[in-house]
Chains A and B, each alone.
Chain A
Amino acid sequence: MRILKYGVSRTVLISIVIAIIVIASVVGYYIFAIMGQPQVKRSMVIFASISEMTTADPSTEFSNSIRWLPLVYEPLLWYDPLKDEFIPALAERYESKDEGRTWVFYIRRGAKFHDGTPVTAYAVKLSIERTIALGQGAAFIWSPVEEIEVVDDYTVVFRLKYPAPLDKIAASAYGAYIFSPKVVELAGAKNLTDPKVAEWFNRGNDAGSGPYRLAKWEPETEVILEKWPDWWGWKLPDYPLKSDKAPDIYILKIIKDAVTQERLLLAGDIDVAQYVPLEDIEKLKSDPRLKVVVKPSFQNLLMLINTKKPPLDNILVRRAIAHAIPYEDIVKIARSGLARIASGPIPYGMWGHFDNLTYTYNLDLAKKLLAEAGYPNGIDRTLLLVYTAGDIYEKRTAELIAINLAKIGINVEIRPMSWEEQWALAQRGWEDPEAVQDLFLFYWWPTYITPFDFLYNMFHSDSKAFNLCYYENPEFEKLIIEASILEGYDEAKALELYYKAQKILYEDVPAVPLWDMIYVEVGSKRVGNLDKAINPAYPTAIFAQVLSIEE
Chain B
Amino acid sequence: MDLEEITSILRLIKLNPLSIVGIAIVATFITLGIISPYIVPYPADAWGYSYNLETRLLPPSSKYLFGTDEMGRDLFSRVLLGTRFSLIIAIGVVGIALAIGIVVGLIAGYMGGSIAMILMRITDMFLAFPPLLLAIAFAATLGRGLVNVIIALALSWWPWYARLIYIQVNSVKNLPFIDAARVIGLSTTKIMFRHILPNSLTPIIIQAALDMGSAILEAAGLSFLGIGVPPPIPEWGLLISQGWALINRAWWLSLFPGIAIVITVIGFNLLADTFQEIMDPRLRSTMVMRGI
Q: Give chain A's interface residues, CB within 8 Å of chain B.
A: 257-259, 262-263, 277, 279-280, 283, 329, 332-333, 389-390, 392, 395-396, 399-400, 403, 406, 414-416, 421
Of the candidate stretches B50-58, B181-189, B193-201, B261-269, the one touching chain A is B50-58
A262 to B249, CA, bound (A): 11
Return the CB mask of B38-74 against A: 1 if under 8 Å, else 0. Answer: 0000000000111101001100000000000011100
Whether A389 lies near B226 (C-beta < 8 A) is yes
A276: shortest Cβ distance to chain B, in Å?
9
Whether A277 lies near B246 (C-beta < 8 A) is yes
Whether B246 lies near A279 (C-beta < 8 A) is yes
Nearest-neighbor residue (CB-CB) of B49 within chain A: A403
Name 21 A/B residue pairs within 8 A (Cβ), A-sorted.
A257-B245, A258-B245, A259-B248, A277-B248, A279-B57, A279-B246, A279-B250, A329-B51, A333-B51, A333-B53, A333-B56, A333-B70, A389-B226, A399-B48, A399-B71, A399-B232, A400-B51, A403-B49, A403-B51, A414-B232, A416-B231
Whether B245 lies near A277 (C-beta < 8 A) is yes
A263 to B226, CA, bound (A): 22
Whether A277 lies near B71 (C-beta < 8 A) is no
Whether A259 lies near B232 (C-beta < 8 A) is no
The answer to whether B247 has its CB under 8 Å from any CB of chain A is: yes
The answer to whether B144 has its CB under 8 Å from any CB of chain A is: yes
| A-B interface contact total, Cβ < 8 Å | 57
Whether A399 lies near B245 (C-beta < 8 A) is no
For the residues of B in contact with A, the DSSP-based class is: loop
The answer to whether B244 has its CB under 8 Å from any CB of chain A is: yes
A396 to B231, CA, bound (A): 10
Residues of B within 8 A of A390 (CB): 226
The answer to whether B143 has its CB under 8 Å from any CB of chain A is: yes
The answer to whether B33 has its CB under 8 Å from any CB of chain A is: no
B174: shortest Cβ distance to chain A, in Å?
40
A280 to B246, CA, bound (A): 8
Whether A416 lies near B230 (C-beta < 8 A) is yes
Whether A415 lies near B226 (C-beta < 8 A) is no
Residue from A277, A396, A414 with most neighbouring chain B CB atoms (10 Å): A277
Residues of A within 8 A of B51 (CB): 329, 333, 399-400, 403
Whether A277 lies near B249 (C-beta < 8 A) is yes
Whether B71 lies near A333 (C-beta < 8 A) is yes
A291: shortest Cβ distance to chain B, in Å?
18
A161 to B245, CA, bound (A): 50
A277 to B248, CA, bound (A): 9
A158: shortest Cβ distance to chain B, in Å?
46
A280 to B57, CA, bound (A): 11
Residues of B within 8 A of A400 (CB): 51, 71
B268: shortest Cβ distance to chain A, in Å?
30
Other-chain residue from B49, B71, B144, B226 in contact with A396 (beta carbon distance below 8 A): B71
Whether A416 lies near B144 (C-beta < 8 A) is yes
Whether B245 lies near A262 (C-beta < 8 A) is no
Q: Which residues of B220-270 have CB atoms within 8 Å of chain A's CB atoms?
A: 226, 230-232, 242, 244-250
A236: shortest Cβ distance to chain B, in Å?
43
Whether A280 lies near B232 (C-beta < 8 A) is no
Q: Given contacts A259-B246, A399-B51, A403-B49, could you give 13 more A-B pairs where the C-beta distance is less than 8 Å?
A: A258-B245, A277-B245, A277-B249, A279-B250, A280-B248, A329-B51, A333-B56, A389-B144, A390-B226, A396-B70, A399-B71, A399-B231, A421-B143
A180 to B116, CA, bound (A): 67
A395 to B53, CA, bound (A): 16
Return the CB mask of B147-172 against A: 1 if under 8 Å, else 0. Answer: 00000000000000000000000000
Whether B245 lies near A329 (C-beta < 8 A) is no
A136: shortest Cβ distance to chain B, in Å?
28
Nearest-neighbor residue (CB-CB) of B56 within chain A: A333
A262 to B244, CA, bound (A): 12
A143 to B230, CA, bound (A): 42
A351 to B246, CA, bound (A): 35
A421 to B70, CA, bound (A): 28
Q: Which residues of B124-157 have CB atoms within 8 Å of chain A's CB atoms?
A: 143-144
A193: shortest Cβ distance to chain B, in Å?
36
A262 to B246, CA, bound (A): 11
A259 to B51, CA, bound (A): 23
Return the CB mask of B56-98 against A: 1 if under 8 Å, else 0. Answer: 1100000000000011100000000000000000000000000
A416 to B57, CA, bound (A): 23
Nearest-neighbor residue (CB-CB) of A404 within chain B: B51
A395 in contact with B231 given A259-B248, A333-B53 (CB within 8 Å): yes
Nearest-neighbor residue (CB-CB) of B57 within chain A: A279
A539 to B232, CA, bound (A): 31
Residues of B within 8 A of A421 (CB): 143
Residues of A within 8 A of B70 (CB): 279, 333, 396
Residues of A within 8 A of B53 (CB): 329, 332-333
B6: shortest Cβ distance to chain A, in Å?
33
A421 to B227, CA, bound (A): 14
Residues of B within 8 A of A262 (CB): 248
Whether A280 lies near B71 (C-beta < 8 A) is no
A279 to B58, CA, bound (A): 12
Residues of A within 8 A of B56 (CB): 333
A403 to B143, CA, bound (A): 25
A485 to B246, CA, bound (A): 47
Other-chain residue from B48, B242, B249 in contact with A280 (beta carbon distance below 8 A): B249
Whether B244 lies near A259 (C-beta < 8 A) is yes
A262 to B57, CA, bound (A): 18
Whether B230 lies near A279 (C-beta < 8 A) is no
Residue from A283, A389, A406 with most neighbouring chain B CB atoms (10 Å): A389
B114: shortest Cβ distance to chain A, in Å?
43
Residues of B within 8 A of A389 (CB): 144, 226, 230
Whether B247 lies near A259 (C-beta < 8 A) is yes
